[in-house]
Amino acid sequence: MDIQFINRATKELVTERPPGEDILRFLYGNPVGEALVLPIAKRKFISDWYGKKMDSPSSVSRIEPFVSSLNIDMSESEKQIDEFTSFNDFFYRKLKPGSRKIEEGLVSPGDGKLLVFEKASEVNSFFVKGERFTLEQFLEDEKLAEEYQDAAMAILRLAPNDYHRYHFPYPGIPSPCHEIGRDYYSVSPISLERKFTKVFTKNKREICRLKTAGKGELLIIPVGATMVGSLNSTFTPDSPVQKGEEMGYFAFGGSTIVLLFDSGKFTFDKDLIENTRNYFETAVRMGEKIASE
């Protein structure tokens, strides 16, 4: 399935074909695959096994073909291809200082394709097509869901070729991460097409509360996916952080970051709202402004 998104800088429509499409179609689009394979593929040990494989020294042979096939810009990377010790070492590579400008307002926590909703309830009618999605299912916390039922929501999807470290979108004091979720579903739009509710209720995820000065509390929720099995926080809880400071990284696989915040404190940029309403994601980079104060 080709994925179309908007290049924010040029406003052009871009077509993307995700790697591993045939496997995802079998898991999510074929009734035999869904019945026989998905119950196994979503289990944590499968992700752990593949994660360990990507940590092995022999996995370095996968890096150059991966970079070449996906046209990854390695000029931004601190390390070059021959310096990585494993595929995962490459996958969650760090960027050279200054590779990303940290702009004003609320910024994107990472590189990826973004959807924004002025109210979280909009997700229900946009994605699910008849299947009910609730914040309570996603957050696994009735009280927290009630608190954020009218919150603005941003969903950032990372593709395999994206930079896979994520950062704080605003300065504040972060809480320790609270882990929820058990089974693993892919976050690819192929699976979103029919499994949106389960993507956000069954994936492993961590909830971090970011307390800000004058802007209330933001929820930052990294979501793990099939063949990831690992969310890695790199910040110190309960200590002040600056906007753009690293929060953590994903190991191999597609991943997602969800933001929830008071819609009265920040206003999403109009182009992001318009693109989402027209059923298109928008390509953004870490540090790029997505909402005004």
Annotated catalytic residues are 111, 167, 255
What pairs with residue 258 in β-bridges?
155, 221
Q: Read off φ and ψ for residue 188, nearest 5 degrees.
A: -65, 145
Secondary structure (3-state) at 265: coil
d(CA 84, CA 266): 40
Token pair for 281 = 């994601």
**How do beta strands 106-107 and 217-223 pair?**
unpaired
- Is residue 283 within 8 Å of residue 10, measured between CB atoms? no
Q: Read off φ and ψ for residue 84, nearest 5 degrees.
A: -80, 145
Find all residues with CB under 8 Å of 35, minimum gap 6, and list them. Answer: none
C-beta neighbour count of 226 within 10 angstroms: 26
Nearest-Å Rg of the Cα atoms of the chain is: 18
